[in-house]
Copies of this chain bind each other. A is one copy, B any other.
Amino acid sequence: MTNRIRIERAILNITQADLAERVQVSRQTINAIEAGKYSPTLALGMKIARVFDKPVDEVFQLEEGD
C-alpha cells in the first residue's frame, strides 16, 4: 500500500498533527500510515481522503501482491 499523503499535505500546507486532529486520530497514527507502516481502517482512509477532497483511490494505491 502506497499513498500520497505527504504530497496532499504539502498542497494544503498542513502538518501531520493538523491532519491527525482533523480526522481524530493521534499524530503517530498519521505518521505511521504516511510512512506505509500499516493499512488504516477504511473509515480512516476515507476521512483522510475527504480532507484532501480526493477519492480514496487517488490518495491510496494497492501494490502488487496485496
Answer whether residue A11 sits at the interface, using C-beta atoms and an 8 A cutoff: no
Q: How many copies make up the complex?
A: 2
* Interface size counted on chain A using CB atoms at 8 A: 18
B62 touches A1 (CB 8 A): no
Q: For chain A, what secondary structure do more than half of its interface residues adopt (helix, strand, loop), or is it mixed?
A: helix
Answer whether residue A57 sits at the interface, using C-beta atoms and an 8 A cutoff: yes
Q: How far is the CB of A5 from chain B (nearest CB, A)?
A: 12
Against B, the Cβ 8 Å flags (1 = close, 0 = not) of A43-66 are 111110110000111001010001
Between A and B, 16 residue pairs with Cβ closer than 8 Å are A1-B42, A1-B43, A39-B41, A39-B44, A42-B42, A42-B45, A42-B56, A43-B62, A43-B66, A45-B45, A46-B56, A46-B57, A55-B56, A55-B57, A56-B57, A57-B57
